[in-house]
């Protein structure tokens, strides 16, 4: 059953969207709205707007928007019911029992419970005779008992049915195990353990839920590491290993390493601000999550070719967020775990020295660039400076940029003014390309050609714009909703997506229910809520909402009477002439 409308009204009364969002994003007053840097994409100028008066947010940069429930869903990676519970707990309220009967919510709860039970099972298996090799492996890696327990490390037995049988005994169904990706399904339809003969690393979210596992094989079978696939509770692009521990120890800085063992070894050595991605390259979503907990990131990837490529890619993702980026290169091609252990009791002190001496990302990239050129040869010196100018042009701080221009010009014995002009040329070129891209995106947006949600829009642009305007007027001016509903039948709406929104608003209005963004949030996905928020953000403050509504209703009536291309193709001459006659009468 859905959450009672009365509960949503009470939650709305106790929840201020600006107060909630300001806990994640610093906001400043700007006219009737509040503005800040968008937490959902990289930006340097504030384009993230919050309307306290109308209860919605919208980013003019990336298009994300919605109500306060949508915001929590996105920020905390929750479904609708979980977001309601999150806000209710903050407001000192308890969600009614009937509101918890949500299919997705129930499944996610069962997956959390299955994962937690699996983590306990794996940990116990580590101390059984068949887990001896795995325990010896961890001890050879010099992990203490305290560390093993702290990270909940475990072992998955060689048999492909031990976990499945254990979970069955605890009341979990085969479908739940498969949905959690703890089990796979055989050709005959039977579940069997996904992980076999592996050291197990539980992956835990910021709320303490076990959401997934990583497993290292104890034999020569490939792959060496196997991770949980995406499930209703786990998205590998939006989570980071050990962030639940590291966020409390960050003190402005996080260390980003490649793997589970590097993270664990660093935590044991006293560097409890270490985190890692989950078997994939760093994503923009992860970079934005990192930004919530620190001002500076130290990238400490392997020194091999793959590690260097990953470092370059991570720099390009992290730097646009506004984070300070440093790069720590471990000597002799070792990873952090190997380096610390090679120095015994002095390992932690030695690694701290490397950490303190780590250079910023510009230094790192210039050093890597230098290795490809012999600057004693004129042609190669010119090529190096040309490539270096492209890099220096990306530096936003003018003082920092001038420092590098001066230093490189002096180092390579060229006129500073000449190198400076080359840098400015690259900066102008990049800005022009960015402007061109923005203009192209605006044209696509206005034409509706880029609209994947309302696919009918580009073919019915005039009608779709009128529909969106009416929807916005209703939500922003509830007093006008009743009149609009009396005059406009949902069937008049030409585009399917807008019609669906209007049908929900129409039904709620007829039933005497409120139609704010939070009132309709449960009926739409987060992406659909973003689209509705965009409709509201596009509307100026109406001095005469009813008068404007009349104009849009007239447009809809005109557009609804037009024949579609399919109807025209199938129509006879008399039908077409009748249509032309009606259109002529409308214009008189």
Q: Which band of pLDDT confidence, cut at 50, 70 and 90, is reported for residue 442?
A: low
Q: What is the pLDDT of residues 490-523, one digit of tens each?
A: 999 989 999 999 999 999 999 999 999 999 999 9
pLDDT value at position 587? Answer: 47
pLDDT value at position 567? Answer: 46
Q: Which band of pLDDT confidence, cut at 50, 70 and 90, is reported for residue 573?
A: low
What is the assigned CATH class of domain 457-587?
Answer: mainly alpha
Residue 79 in this model has a pLDDT that exceeds 70: yes
pLDDT value at position 562? Answer: 64
Q: What is the pLDDT of residues 335-374, one digit of tens each?
A: 899 999 999 889 999 999 999 999 999 999 999 899 899 9
pLDDT value at position 585? Answer: 53
Mean pLDDT value of segment 428-440: 78
> Domain residue spans in the chain?
5-100, 102-234, 240-358, 372-446, 457-587
**Average pLDDT value for the chain:** 89
Do residues 546 and 26 touch, judged by C-beta distance below 8 A? no
CA distance 106 to 582: 54
pLDDT value at position 576? Answer: 47
Q: Which residues of 465-481 are buried (b: 16+ CB within 10 A; e: fewer)?
A: bbbbbbbbbbbbbbebb
**Angle, vertex CA 238, rays to CA 235 and CA 240, nearest 5:** 105
Q: What are the helix (H) ranges across 187-278?
A: 243-246, 260-268
Residue 449 in this model has a pLDDT that exceeds 90: no
Do the domains 240-358 and 457-587 sit in the same CATH topology, yes or no?
Answer: no
Closest CA to 300 of 276, 265, 323, 272: 276
Strands (DSSP E) contained in 324-430 are 324-327, 359-360
Q: What is the pTM of this model?
A: 0.79
Residue 459 in this model has a pLDDT that exceeds 90: no
Q: Which fold has domain 240-358?
A: Dna Topoisomerase Vi A Subunit; Chain: A, domain 2 (3.40.1360)
CA distance 39 to 23: 12
For residue 322, CA distances in Å to 18, 350, 429 come to 23, 29, 22
CB 222: neighbour CB atoms within 10 A?
8
Q: What is the pLDDT of residues 249-276, one digit of tens each?
A: 999 999 999 999 999 999 999 999 999 9
pLDDT value at position 272? Answer: 97
pLDDT value at position 78? Answer: 87
Least reliable range by pLDDT among 81-95, 234-248, 395-409, 532-546? 532-546
Q: Give the whole-number percent of the chain exceeding pLDDT 70.
A: 91
Q: What is the pLDDT of residues 525-536, one digit of tens each?
A: 999 999 999 999
What is the assigned CATH class of domain 5-100?
Answer: alpha beta
Residue with tokens 């793997």: 259
Q: Which band of pLDDT confidence, cut at 50, 70 and 90, is reported for residue 588?
A: very low
Check if CATH label 3.90.980.10 holds for domain 102-234.
yes
The DSSP code sequence of 83-125 is HHHHHHHHTT----GGGG--HHHHHHHHHHHHHHHHHHHHHHH
Q: What is the pLDDT of residues 27-45, one digit of tens each?
A: 999 988 999 999 998 888 8
């Amino acid at each position: 059953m859905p959450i009672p409308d009365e509960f949503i009204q009470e939650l709305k009364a106790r929840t201020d969207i600006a107060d909630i969002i300001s806990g994640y994003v610093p906001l400043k007053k700007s006219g009737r709205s509040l503005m800040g840097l968008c937490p959902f994409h990289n930006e340097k100028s504030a384009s993230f707007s919050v309307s306290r008066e109308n209860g919605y947010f919208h980013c003019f940069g990336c298009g994300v928007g919605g109500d306060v429930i949508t915001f929590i869903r996105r920020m905390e990676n929750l479904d609708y019911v979980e977001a309601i519970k999150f806000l209710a707990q903050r407001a000192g309220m308890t969600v009614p029992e009937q509101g918890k009967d949500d299919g997705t919510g129930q499944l996610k709860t069962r997956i959390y419970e299955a994962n937690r039970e699996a983590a306990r099972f794996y940990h116990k298996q580590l101390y059984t005779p068949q887990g001896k090799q795995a325990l010896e492996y961890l001890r050879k890696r010099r992990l203490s008992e305290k560390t093993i327990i702290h990270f909940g490390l475990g072992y998955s037995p060689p048999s492909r049915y031990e976990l499945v049988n254990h979970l069955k005994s605890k009341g979990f169904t085969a479908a739940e195990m498969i949905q959690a990706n703890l089990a796979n399904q055989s050709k005959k339809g039977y579940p069997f353990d996904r992980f076999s003969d592996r050291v197990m690393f539980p992956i835990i979210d910021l709320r303490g839920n076990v959401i997934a596992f990583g497993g290292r094989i104890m034999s020569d079978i490939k792959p060496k590491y196997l991770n949980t696939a995406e499930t209703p509770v786990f998205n590998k692009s939006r989570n980071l290993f050990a962030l639940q521990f590291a966020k409390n120890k960050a003190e402005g800085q996080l260390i980003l390493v490649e793997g589970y063992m590097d993270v664990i070894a660093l935590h044991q050595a006293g560097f409890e601000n270490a985190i890692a991605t989950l078997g994939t390259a760093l994503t923009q979503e992860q970079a934005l999550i990192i930004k919530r907990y620190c001002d500076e990131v130290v990238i400490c990837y392997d020194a091999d070719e793959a590690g260097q490529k990953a470092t370059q890619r991570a720099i390009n993702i992290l730097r646009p967020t506004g984070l300070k980026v440093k790069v720590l290169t471990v000597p002799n091609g070792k990873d952090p775990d190997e380096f610390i252990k090679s120095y015994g009791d002095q390992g932690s002190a030695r690694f701290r020295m490397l950490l303190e001496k780590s250079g910023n990302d510009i230094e790192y990239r210039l050093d890597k660039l230098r290795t490809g050129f012999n600057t004693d040869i004129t042609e190669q010196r010119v090529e190096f400076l040309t490539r270096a100018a492209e890099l220096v042009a990306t530096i936003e701080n003018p003082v920092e940029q001038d420092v590098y221009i001066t230093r490189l010009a002096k180092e390579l014995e060229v006129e500073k003014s000449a190198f400076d002009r080359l840098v400015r040329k690259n900066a102008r070129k990049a800005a022009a390309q960015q402007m061109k891209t923005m203009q192209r995106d605006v044209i696509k947006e206005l034409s509706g050609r880029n609209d994947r949600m309302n696919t009918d829009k580009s073919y019915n642009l005039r009608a779709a714009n009128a529909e969106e305007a009416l929807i916005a007027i209703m939500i922003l001016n509830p007093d006008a909703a009743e009149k609009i509903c009396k005059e406009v039948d949902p069937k008049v709406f030409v585009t399917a997506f807008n019609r669906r929104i209007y049908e929900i608003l129409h039904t709620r209005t007829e039933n005497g229910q409120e139609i704010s963004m939070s009132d309709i949030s449960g009926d739409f996905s987060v992406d659909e809520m973003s689209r509705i928020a965009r409709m509201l953000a596009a509307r100026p403050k109406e001095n005469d909402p009813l008068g404007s509504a009349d104009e849009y209703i007239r447009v809809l009536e005109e557009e609804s009477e037009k024949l579609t291309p399919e109807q025209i193709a199938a129509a006879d001459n008399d039908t077409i002439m009748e249509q032309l006659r009606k259109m002529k009468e409308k214009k008189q």
